[in-house]
Structure 1
Amino acid sequence: MSDTSAPTSTRADELNTTRPQKAVPTGPGLDRQLQRWLPWGVAALLAVFYAAVSIRRHVELLTSAYDLGIYDQAVRSYSHFSLPYNSVQSAHFDVLGDHFSPVLALLAPLYWIHDSPTTLLAAQAVLIAVAVVPLMRWAHRSIGLGAALVVGLGYGLSFGVANAVTFDFHEVAFAAPLIAFAAVALGEGRLTAAVAWAAPLVLVKEDLGLTVAVVGLLVAWRGRRMLGLLTAAGGALGAALAVLVIIPGMNPLGHNNHASKFGTSILHQFTILLSPDIKILTLVFLLAPTVFLAIRSPIIALAVPTVLWRFLATDPNYWGNQFHYSLILMPVIFAAFIDVLRRRNPAPRRIFLLASALVTVYLVPQNGFAQAFTSGLWHTSEATSQVRALLARIPSGTTVAASNQLLPQLSQRDHVTLIGRTPLDVSQPAYIISETQNVGFPLGTDGQNAWLADARSHGYRDIGTAGSVVLLARN
């Protein structure tokens, strides 16, 4: 009997050796279902959370003309089968002359259903949340359920995501899922899929062609030389065309407004690449959730173009952790984290995952999501209600000059210009509504009040106030 049973055992062993080996075997039951559906469940919860936070910010008058008002008008123009014009940056300004983001046209059908800035905020919430799906699936397949949860919540609550969700709407929301799927495909060796996911980035924003180029170089390095080099060339060419040809051609002034933000000497900019210290702090915030392991993966190269242009720029707004500029880096960081972790032994891997989770929890109160845990965001104050009542006095379909914080409240129903961007004698609005205290962009408090005084001298009269907000009408 021993002779007859031995070959059976050998054949079984031979069959086992032909099966693909995985770092963590997955069972046919619950674990497999979790791999398939848990990432989508987490994405759905994150999308609801993101949408709730951003829409409540809009209700509480915390959104702004730059940039929600701009993109609201641009997408509305697309929904009317027009070029993406807006009257925020200047009268009849084509958004394609500022940033090359034709992907925004994909949102136009949503405006046929619900024409509102909140539609953009909800769409952004979904796009950013979907990026968690490939990251969690890869972490689960290659490491395990615990890793998937740590990575999912690490990405979902990261400062790059938080500061994008809590700052209006931006076109780079489309880049988050594309980069996540591309990075995971690279990590898994699905090189054609990586190129397919990365290629549309050239239509999201002009600089992202350089990210496509890096994807191409990594594909070439992995052995698909022709595919990789063609992708790299296509990405670089796409970025060059957008920056040097398309944007200046669509800009009414005939140049790229952002070119001046990079100084005149690139060599000098490289000498201050990590100066001032805020740039180093940004790198720390980026890498800390991965316990700095992400830098050991080739996938981290996808972050290089974005980090370089931000740190080479002369505009301090690009250097730090505020605003939306780190959003597209978060999928890269966490994909690189997974790539390194899956090669580690289980014991140190658990320590790194625990450390990552602790860093995530520690950083949440310091990022944009901190406001989600305060009662002020979820309860409308009397002051806000009074301003909303003042806004309601402005008729629909009229012309209005509004301050930065109030413009998005009117952009869906009126023709609105931004105070300080379009001269009063050009816009000639029927109404003016503005804050008079703690005014920021673009004029500041003194400049805003001087502008209002000039308007009064040209025939506008005060017809209402709500705290520090004034409403003027043309005689």
Structure 2
Amino acid sequence: MRTLTDKLPVDSQPEAPPAPAPWYRHPALLPWAWAAGLCLLYATVAVRRHQLLRTTGYDLGIFEQAVRAYAELRAPVVPLRGAGFNLLGDHFHPLLAALAPLYRLWPSPLCLLVAQSALLALAVVPLARWARRALGVRAAHAVAAGYGLSWGIASAAAFDFHEVALAVPLLAFSLEALAHRRWRAAVAWAAPLLFIKEDLGLTLAAVGVYVAVKGPRRLGIATAAVGLLGSLVEIKFLLPAFNLGGGYAHGGNLADGHGSLLSTLAHAPLDALRPDVKALTLVLVFAPSALLALRSPLAMIAVPTLGWRMVSENPFHWGTAYHYSAILMPVVLAGLIDVLAREKSARNVRASLVTVLAVTAVLLPSFPLAQLVQRPTWRTTPHIEAARALLARVPDGATVAASNRLAPQLTSRCEVMIFPTFPVDTRLDLRETGPLPAPTAEWIVYDSVPPEAWPQKSGPWPYPAEQQEAELRAASEKHGYEVVAARDGVTLLRRSPN
């Protein structure tokens, strides 16, 4: 039996429907594919750094002790910071407890490093998804690369673990919601920032200001008020309550440097640009967007973090190292998408994205992701093997005083403190403070060999190597410790039984 189509000329036969694209090329999977790839990239750098003894007690060991305490249903008391030191008295980050179930399943510093890698990578999902819908697939790839390979994220991924990793994806999802005018969702995503760090209430307030200007005024004003009040309560009441010394532990970073509040405010614009490293950092923050994010009102959400960093008296806050810029990268890339989505010229959009990729490529070798192509990253030295061998001799459950770079190798199975214990007042001339109190740990493990990468000193503050050696000799000669083993600059001591 002939059908109707059989009677038609060959040229008029209906075309067959196009074959469906393979599942792995579905546009909705693009953001998640980037997230998976970036997670693997960050985790490779972070885990390898740990294997090379480049992670430190300050800060990976500190956060592991806190999360380990949460996993054991205890207060986050951190021996690395001192006897009875509750970490909630340093920074207010109770949301760290969310990692406790994962740590309970995998009690290792690697758990925190991989979790941080996943959190930082997750932030690419809302950004790439927004870019794909607003600008197309190719633009989504460019935005994902611009975020994922940005120096701010790279610096965070390759420097131990920090609570800000929890904030990065939350803010990214909030920014996507702001772009689509889903005001309540944007506030809901940003609200947990209050429980990640005390200054992030100001970022929540900035989200509220944006909502008040662009959307429902009442919701925006309420959000801004909650953010400001939340940070105030945390700094003035909650942090001092947990701090053994009372007061806000980091208040000194924002000390009045000009004699009066009025004078300080008058000098603030210039202080924010002096010394020159501050101005360079401000430029580099927006560089991943080829500076286009400065044209977006979303850039105002970066103001609180940039503001406190630039007026801080702590030089660590001024530069591009460490984790301080991670929270800014979603804002910068969101600003880029916002600006390009309003650009009418497709040619200008393409040129802007090419510039973004060029800037990313130029900056990439100067920041930590470049470690992946460096030969020392994949070489295990005899010194590292010696350190691992001696650390393996420390029994589980022991109390250990360890050098800064050895501490996170032990924090999952021992109670660890820093050797030597650092004085509280880091402004003292440490050569004149005299000997430290006698160590109380069962074991001491000390590494005299300088690391191949930051930190070049054995702790977060300058501590003369000769004084460290003197404290080690005193432990052996005066405090009843016996040398168990010494190899390639690593010394293991144990307290003699009475």
Q: TM-score, normalised by structure 2?
A: 0.87
Corresponding residue for 2:351? 351
- 2:273 corresponds to which letter in structure 1? L
- 2:182 corresponds to which letter in structure 1? R
Residues 412-423 of structure 1: matches in 2 within 5 Å? 412-421=412-421
**Judging changes above 3 Å, is the alpha-carbon distance between structure 1 residues 202 and 67 closer, same or farther for their aligned structure 2 residues?**
same
Corresponding residue for 2:484? 463
**1:44 and 1:375 mapped to 2: Cα distance?**
25
Within the candidate set 69, 72, 93, 2:85 is matched to 93
| Partner SS state of residue 48, structure 2 | helix
Q: Is the 8 A contact 1:386 1:466 kept in 2?
A: yes
Q: Is the 8 A contact 1:43 1:133 kept in 2?
A: yes
Corresponding residue for 2:426? none
Corresponding residue for 2:8? none
Residues 413-452 of structure 1: matches in 2 within 5 Å? 413-421=413-421, 425=437, 428-438=440-450, 439-441=457-459, 442=461, 443-452=463-472
Q: Is the 8 A contact 2:403 2:458 kept in 1?
A: no
Corresponding residue for 2:388? 388
Residues 263-316 of structure 1: CA deviation (Å, up to 9, x unaligned): 224434543111011011111211122111100000001100000000100000
| Partner SS state of residue 93, structure 1 | coil
In the alignment, does 2:46 pair up with 1:42?
no
Within the candidate set 229, 239, 242, 1:250 is matched to 242
| Partner SS state of residue 85, structure 1 | coil
The answer to which structure has the higher helix fraction is 1
- 1:398 corresponds to which letter in structure 2? A
Corresponding residue for 2:172? 180
**1:98 and 1:466 mapped to 2: Cα distance?**
36
| Partner SS state of residue 88, structure 1 | helix
State the Cα distance separating 1:33 from its structure 2 match. 6.5
Corresponding residue for 1:148? 140
Corresponding residue for 2:197? 205
**2:44 and 2:270 mapped to 1: Cα distance?**
43
Residues 269-348 of structure 1: matches in 2 within 5 Å? 269-344=268-343, 345-348=345-348
Residues 377-420 of structure 1: CA deviation (Å, up to 9, x unaligned): 23322221111001111111111100110000011111111123
- 2:394 corresponds to which letter in structure 1? I
Corresponding residue for 2:221? 229
Q: Is the 8 A contact 1:35 1:141 kept in 2?
A: no
| Partner SS state of residue 434, structure 1 | strand
Q: Is the 8 A contact 2:132 2:139 kept in 1?
A: yes
Cα RMSD for the two superposed structures: 1.8
In the alignment, does 2:488 pair up with 1:473?
no
State the Cα distance separating 1:463 from its structure 2 match. 2.2
**1:185 and 1:110 mapped to 2: Cα distance?**
28
Corresponding residue for 2:181? 189
Q: Is the 8 A contact 1:163 1:322 kept in 2?
A: yes
Q: Is the 8 A contact 2:181 2:215 kept in 1?
A: no
Residues 117-158 of structure 1: CA deviation (Å, up to 9, x unaligned): 110011111110000000001101001111101110111111
Corresponding residue for 1:404? 404
Q: Is the 8 A contact 2:296 2:338 kept in 1?
A: yes
State the Cα distance separating 1:256 from its structure 2 match. 1.3
**1:440 and 1:311 mapped to 2: Cα distance?**
27
Q: Please identify, of 443-452 and 200-209, the stretch whose mean Cα deviation from structure 2 is larger.
A: 443-452
**1:425 and 1:287 mapped to 2: Cα distance?**
47
Corresponding residue for 1:8? none
Residues 2-25 of structure 1: CA deviation (Å, up to 9, x unaligned): xxxxxxxxxxxxxxxxxxxxxxxx
Identity, % of aligned positions: 46
- 1:471 corresponds to which letter in structure 2? L
**2:406 and 2:268 mapped to 1: Cα distance?**
37
Q: Is the 8 A contact 1:91 1:422 kept in 2?
A: no
| Partner SS state of residue 335, structure 1 | helix
Corresponding residue for 1:104? 96
Q: Is the 8 A contact 1:187 1:299 kept in 2?
A: no
Corresponding residue for 1:377? 377
**2:464 and 2:116 mapped to 1: Cα distance?**
29
**1:202 and 1:124 mapped to 2: Cα distance?**
19
Unaligned 5+ segments in structure 1 are: 1-27
